[in-house]
Amino acid sequence: MKPAPFRYVPAASLEEALALKAEHGDEAKFLAGGQSLIPAMNFRMAQPAILIDINPLTALSYVRQDGNAIRVGALTRYRTLQRDAAIAGKLPLMAEALPEVAHPAIRNRGTLGGNLSHADPASELPAVVSALGGTLHTRSKKGTRRIAAQDFFTAALTTALTADELLTEIELPVLPPRSGTSFLEVARRRGDYAMMGVACAVTLNASGACAEARLAYCNAGETAMLAPKAAAALKGQRIDDKTARAAAERAKAEINPFGNVHASADYQRHLAGVLTRRALLVAAERAGA
């Protein structure tokens, strides 16, 4: 299990990295944390001709509050995110999901940008970023783009990134007051990809009814699946066991899990229902319902 030959270029600057990517397109891969890419290369499932190592570009590692948003540099490692006060305070949904991502040794290397660019639908963070309605900032030699999370993930392991583009920043809105979130997953073992997971965000109105809800799922289809109908139907309703159950039933119909060696598609769908109900109740409680 040794990688096929490739050319390795540690990026001296962002401009150099982008120029190389523009030159080589799909033949080249950016190397961030490498915790998904290098295993794929060791299995020879990925055989890039050129590996552009962006780890030297430390300016891409940051967490900044900017008005009503948290901006995260694409090269920020999970470990850093887990220990960041702004993430813990302003993005509790992400803080709750991070410990579910693999194990400490992996989180010491893996990066948010690398994770999202890899776009594994079973991963936790695409669901979190989708549930939060994040915006992904990209750069290429030609310029910059802003892509909404729900447009970024186009299929399993496929994103809207063009062959010359690098994801540079993830912008995540801070939820308004009277909001609550919950991340729940069921995995065979701690640190495994979830058989099913849900990222849930709820905002209540003054009377305690649901003003806005968002539900996003891991391992529920080609991408981080959203359940917009289930979420919309909650608007104006008090979130309780009955409405949460109804939302769960709606969400089950909106997702499209494939099934795998660990979980049948039916079981995954069933789990989505259980987790949706539980997550909505927790999120509503946290919102102050």
Rule CB under 8 A: which of 169-188 touch another protein? 186, 188
Of 124, 96, 100, nearest to 112 by C-alpha is 124
- Report CA Rg, the chain: 19
Residue 264 CB, nearest distance to another protein (Å)?
5
Q: Which stretch binds another protein (CB under 8 A): 19-27, 216-224, 235-243, 265-273?
A: 265-273
Task: Confirm or reject binding of residue 145 to another protein (CB under 8 A).
Answer: no
Angstrom distances, CA of residue 202 to CA of 80, 88, 226 = 26, 17, 14
Among positions 214-233, residues that touch another protein (CB under 8 A) are none
Q: How far is the CB of 186 from another protein (least distance, A)?
A: 5
Nearer to another protein, 149 or 195 (CB): 195
Piece in contact with another protein (CB under 8 A), picked from 68-76, 102-110, 125-133, 146-154: 102-110
Distance in angstroms (rounded) separating the CA atoms of residues 101 and 185: 11
- 55 or 135, CB closer to another protein? 55
**Residues ≥6 apart with Cβ < 8 Å to 95:** 81, 82, 87, 88
Q: How far is CA 24 from CA 19, 74, 144, 220, in A?
A: 9, 21, 19, 33
Question: Is-contact 186 92, C-beta < 8 A?
Answer: no
Instruction: By CB under 8 A, tell whether 13 contacts another protein.
Output: no
Task: Decide if residue 245 touches another protein (CB under 8 A).
Answer: no
Q: Give the x/- contact pattern for another protein in 59-98, rule: CB under 8 A.
A: --------------------x-------------------
Strand boundaries in the chain, DSSP class E? 7-10, 28-31, 50-53, 63-66, 69-73, 135-140, 143-148, 153-155, 158-159, 166-173, 179-187, 194-204, 210-218, 225-226
Rule CB under 8 A: say whether 58 interacts with another protein: no
Q: Look at residues 172, 217, 189 and name the one whose alpha carbon lies nearest to residue 81.
A: 172
Which window, 17-25, 41-49, 212-220, 223-231, contacts another protein (CB under 8 A)? 41-49
Residues at the site binding another protein, with contacts judged by CB under 8 A:
1-8, 10, 34-35, 38-39, 42-44, 51, 53, 55, 79, 102-106, 108-109, 186, 188-193, 195, 261-264, 266-267, 270-271, 274
